[in-house]
Amino acid sequence: MDEESIYRCMKYSNMVVNLIGQEVPDRNYNLHDAHVVTPRLIASAARQAGIKTMVHFSAMGATLDPPTPWTKEEAEEYAKKNIILGKSDFLITKYLGEQAVQNEFPDAVIVRPSTLFGICDNFINFYSANGRKGRCVLGTYTVYMWKKGLEAIKRPLFVSDLLDAVEVLMRDKSARGKTYEFYGPHAYLLHDLVEYISNIQRTTLKIEHGLLWRRSFTGYYSGGYKSEDGTLILHDKSNTEYLSDIPSGLPGFEECGISRKKLQSIIDLAPIFLRNTADVTNTELEQSYYAKPIPPQPVLV
């Protein structure tokens, strides 16, 4: 990707929205390429093309020094086992991307959403996938999560609600140059959400404390990879997965004229999105399929 080709793509536009991003590095792009280099090119091309409005998607919690779900002592203990616990490069590069965009396009609107969910998302689908559930013994899946997911608080936000707010920001000239933060209507423990997703699927789940999901027959670890010296390094997804969605007080839905009472809940929509993944084996179960499992209780924070 080069700036000239980006410029040609947008030279007849008056608005630009940058949605490019990824949770983990791949063979083509690392997180710095996706979250810093590419947004800088897009912002520079937008400025040269005379674009009036640019919206850049970042992430809630973006910072140069993100917290970790584990203590320094816990990280040192795992280091003795040749397992490296790091900080979230996802949040670090997202913050650097904000700075890069604002340097090139000072009037850019920065959007920081919390954990997003929707059709074919990376939250509901991630935790409903067999690969994330780990091994299955006698019909029970064992899921490994740091502190069993009891210390991570998530505020899932429906992607359509976010886009309603972004549409307002794109047309609001007073929003230019500002940073906005959006999060869902309720807060839940990650443990309770994963358990709820499992109940929707009619599967039996056992959640244990741990970091690695499982080791495959090929020798690769789900949740991490081995370096040349044999040290196991966690994927950045694992460094980010157990962090809480913590609002920082930035403008949000209210400033966009959208009532938080109208936001849709993951509790109501997850059964619809997982409709075809339930373990339905007979007519009686099929008839009771649409009965929603007992929902988790929101966390008061």
Q: What CATH number is associated with residue 131?
A: 3.40.50.720
Inside any domain, residue 163: yes
What are 161-201's pLDDT values in tens digits? 999 999 999 999 999 999 999 999 999 999 999 999 999 88
What is the pLDDT, as a whole number, of residue 29? 87
**Token reading at 287:** 């008839």
Inside any domain, residue 171: yes
Inside any domain, residue 261: yes
pTM over 0.85: yes
Inside any domain, residue 295: no
Inside any domain, residue 293: no
Evaluate if residue 291 carries a pLDDT over 80: no
Helices (H) and strands (E) in the chain, counts: 12, 16
**Token reading at 77:** 């203990």
Inside any domain, residue 162: yes
**Token reading at 255:** 């400033």
Q: How many domains does the chain have?
A: 1
**Strand positions, DSSP E, 104-146:** 109-113, 116-117, 136-137, 140-145
Inside any domain, residue 124: yes
What are 192-251's pLDDT values in tens digits? 999 999 998 888 899 998 876 555 444 444 556 555 565 656 677 888 889 999 999 999
The overall average pLDDT reported for the chain is 87
Domain that residue 86 falls in: 3-287
What are 68-104's pLDDT values in tens digits? 999 999 989 888 877 788 899 999 999 999 999 999 9
Inside any domain, residue 164: yes
CB 127 within 8 A of CB 66: no
Evaluate if residue 260 carries a pLDDT over 70: yes
State the Cα–Cα distance between residues 264 and 181, nearest whole angstrom: 17
Evaluate if residue 52 carries a pLDDT over 90: yes
